[in-house]
Chains A and B, each alone.
Chain A
Amino acid sequence: MKTTRTVLDAREITKSYNGKKVLDNVSLQIRANDFYVLMGPNGSGKSTLLSILAGTNSADSGFVKILGNDIRQCKLETREHIGYVPQESFCSDFLTGRENLEYFAGLLGLTKSQAREKIERLLRLMNLEEEADKRVAGYSGGMKKKLEVATALLSDAKILFLDEPTTGLDPNVRKDFLDLLQGINEQGTAVLLVTHIGEDAESASRVGFMMQGEIVAEGSPEQLKEMSGLKSSIIVDASPKSDELMLLLASLGSDCIVAEKETLLELTCEDPKMMIPEIVHVLYKAGFDMRRVDSRPPSLEDVFYGLTECPVRGEA
């Protein structure tokens, strides 16, 4: 049975830089089984919030408690429960992956045998065994991120804070990395991930949308999609692409809107699932060559835009 104790309790966090409010009364609770993704555009305050929650930055007001201990007042040892992965790649390129892990194990005060055992386990978990004795300078972006997560798991971390860990990773590596985080979460470590990439949040248990220093919406991905009122759309890949094709699709219903999306056409209407057989029938009859006609649920980036009227990949 999964535990649901609160690992992180942050209340009324405010922070200003040079008189400009970056965080405005932000409160956030994370439970032990949460995979929480905080989405927001650049400059929305999400990285500042993460640094305050991880104890590397101080808030102007409010408090952060990790396992019930105030992070500003608690003993240094309480930080053992925090696994923080900042945005930049902090592992030294001059050292091997194993040597980097040995360094952080040493800082945590692990004995040689404890360190060796933990490092081997983490290298296996991260699938980095073969690369462990190579210098980090030769690692790919995905391997570096995995190594950094491994450093965060050397202590008995109860919560992992990750600041835009998937930025710059190609889609396959990103999926692999997110699956890894999912596995870590399932083993009982809460995850708080900050991102501006919608796909990162699709498998989260809770998602928060951050805008101008506030969490403006929160819930599971499904709840947020429902909250936005956005419906699935229909993706049509047919040729020849022509005005005739667009007019034909638009004429299928008075509520149908057709838009070009890269090389595809996207059709939004009241009831997409019911519409698909009709589209197939009409296009077949008109002699179009169909490669793909299927429905696409709204992405969390669409939902973010729908709720905030601001693209998550832009500036706040």
Chain B
Amino acid sequence: MSRISQVRASFVRSMRIFLRDKAIIGSSVLIPVFFLIVLPLVLFQDVPIEFMPAVKGFLVIAMVTLLIMSTAMSNLPGSIAADRDDDLYSKLSSMPVNPLYECMGRIVTVFVFSAIGSMIVIALGLALGAVLVVKTIDLLLILGIASVVILFVSGLGLVIASFVKSESAAAHIGVAIVLVNYFIGIAFPYRDLPELLKPMVHVNPVCIGNNMIAVLTVGEEFLGYNPFNFMDATVLLLLAALMFTIGLYIYSRYCWRR
């Protein structure tokens, strides 16, 4: 009971902060929404009209991935760093609270906030003409892949939060990592990537997860390769599990002083 209560308390608090902090809403949700509206007008003017629905569909998936990354790698560490600045962890350390349960509440927040943001981005994308063809049976698979990606980026976010002490530095380092990830394998379909970047996609769980969801929603032909192979799937699952475990361990060791 106490475990669930601790996770729930931590979740409710973080969720309230995420929904009330304009900086978090702006950086996580409004930027993908802005890109979703503006990019087709600026970058895709030369794309033949019959390809636009698929291009926009791919853009929707990329924006959802961007949103998840921003939430987990920038806003999560930023909020943790802010709490550390306010001495919350000294207070928590004096209480009968398990760091892992407190942390799980924060991770659940990343899941729920990302889900809400993703629904907004997807709804807007569909309204703007994106086409996402999803079989009912694939929906669970997509949710599973997205969850694995969230675990990976949350682990990374926890590591950033544990080592970067100030709120703005934690958030900015997170944004830098988000942008690097975005441009090395998410912004463009695999087939359009320079040869130099292609191997990096296969060792980056965020790119693999993004590509898997893209294949399930806009098709393998558009992406230019099928990430549903043994190597990519193994990398995705192993690195996500590893990074999440490392994140949890480092968070409970360095953010909590006992």
B14 to nearest A CB, angstroms?
10
Partner of B90, one of A90, A105, A109: A90
B98 lies within 8 A of A54 (CB): no
Choose the segment among B16-24, B129-137, B246-254 that binds chain A (4+ C-beta atoms closer than 8 Å): B16-24
Choose the segment among B1-9, B138-146, B167-175 that binds chain A (4+ C-beta atoms closer than 8 Å): B1-9
With contacts A76-B96, A92-B17 known, is A56 near B2, CB below 8 A?
no
Measured between beta carbons, the chain B residues less than 8 angstroms from A106 are 5-6, 8-10, 12
With contacts A56-B93, A76-B96, A84-B94 known, is A90 near B9, CB below 8 A?
no
B21 lies within 8 A of A87 (CB): no
Q: Is A252 an interface residue (CB 8 A)?
A: no
Counting chain A CB atoms within 10 Å of each CB, which of B87, B91, B98, B102 scores highest?
Answer: B91
Measured between beta carbons, the chain B residues less than 8 angstroms from A99 are 13, 16
Measured between beta carbons, the chain B residues less than 8 angstroms from A58 are 258
Q: Is A298 an interface residue (CB 8 A)?
A: no
A94 lies within 8 A of B20 (CB): yes
Q: Is B238 an interface residue (CB 8 A)?
A: no
A-contact 0/1 string along B74-90, CB 8 Å cutoff: 00000000010111101
B96 lies within 8 A of A80 (CB): yes
B258 lies within 8 A of A84 (CB): no
Q: Is B95 an interface residue (CB 8 A)?
A: yes
Measured between beta carbons, the chain B residues less than 8 angstroms from A90 are 83, 86-88, 90-91
* Shortest Cβ distance from B93 into A: residue: A56
A-contact 0/1 string along B84-119, CB 8 Å cutoff: 011110111111111000100000000000000000
B-contact 0/1 string along A41-61, CB 8 Å cutoff: 000000000010011111000
A79 lies within 8 A of B9 (CB): no
Majority SS of interface residues in chain B? helix
B91 lies within 8 A of A84 (CB): yes
A103 lies within 8 A of B12 (CB): yes
Measured between beta carbons, the chain B residues less than 8 angstroms from A104 are 9, 95
With contacts A55-B93, A57-B257, A108-B95 known, is A88 near B13, CB below 8 A?
no
A110 to B17, CA, bound (A): 22
Measured between beta carbons, the chain A residues less than 8 angstroms from B17 are 92, 94-95
Which residues from 55 to 113 on chain A have a C-beta closer than 8 Å to any C-beta of chain B?
A: 55-58, 76-80, 82, 84-90, 92, 94-95, 99, 102-110
Measured between beta carbons, the chain A residues less than 8 angstroms from B5 are 106-110
Partner of B87, one of A87, A94, A105: A87
A56 lies within 8 A of B258 (CB): yes
Measured between beta carbons, the chain B residues less than 8 angstroms from A82 are 94-95
A115 to nearest B CB, angstroms?
10
Measured between beta carbons, the chain A residues less than 8 angstroms from B93 are 55-56
B82 to nearest A CB, angstroms?
9
A109 lies within 8 A of B86 (CB): no
Measured between beta carbons, the chain A residues less than 8 angstroms from B16 are 94-95, 99
With contacts A92-B13, A103-B12 known, is A109 near B94, CB below 8 A?
no
Q: Is A155 an interface residue (CB 8 A)?
A: yes
Q: Is A185 an interface residue (CB 8 A)?
A: no
Partner of A86, one of B13, B83, B90, B97: B90
A89 lies within 8 A of B86 (CB): yes
A54 lies within 8 A of B94 (CB): yes
- A-B interface contact total, Cβ < 8 Å: 94
* Shortest Cβ distance from B97 into A: residue: A107
A72 to nearest B CB, angstroms?
9
How many residues on the A side are at the interface (Cβ–Cβ under 8 A)? 35
* Shortest Cβ distance from B17 into A: residue: A94
* Shortest Cβ distance from B88 into A: residue: A90
Which residues from 13 to 43 on chain B have a C-beta closer than 8 Å to any C-beta of chain A?
A: 13, 16-17, 20-21
A203 to B21, CA, bound (A): 42
Counting chain A CB atoms within 10 Å of each CB, which of B96, B98, B257 scores highest?
Answer: B96
A178 to B20, CA, bound (A): 34
B90 to nearest A CB, angstroms?
4
Which residues from 197 to 226 on chain B have a C-beta closer than 8 Å to any C-beta of chain A?
A: none
Q: Is A151 an interface residue (CB 8 A)?
A: yes
A76 lies within 8 A of B98 (CB): yes
B87 lies within 8 A of A79 (CB): no
Partner of B9, one of A76, A102, A161: A102
With contacts A54-B94, A94-B16 known, is A109 near B1, CB below 8 A?
yes
A99 to B14, CA, bound (A): 11
A77 to B97, CA, bound (A): 9
A55 lies within 8 A of B9 (CB): no
A55 lies within 8 A of B258 (CB): yes
Measured between beta carbons, the chain A residues less than 8 angstroms from B90 are 51, 54, 56, 84, 86, 88, 90
| 24 examples of A-B residue contacts, CB within 8 angstroms | A54-B90, A56-B94, A76-B96, A76-B97, A77-B96, A80-B95, A82-B95, A85-B91, A88-B87, A89-B86, A89-B87, A90-B83, A90-B86, A90-B87, A90-B90, A90-B91, A99-B13, A103-B10, A106-B6, A106-B12, A107-B9, A108-B95, A108-B96, A110-B5
Interface residues of chain B, those whose CB is within 8 Å of chain A, are: 1-2, 5-6, 8-10, 12-13, 16-17, 20-21, 83, 85-88, 90-98, 102, 257-258
| Given A106-B8, A107-B102, A110-B5; 4 other pairs, CB 8 A cutoff | A84-B91, A86-B87, A88-B86, A155-B96
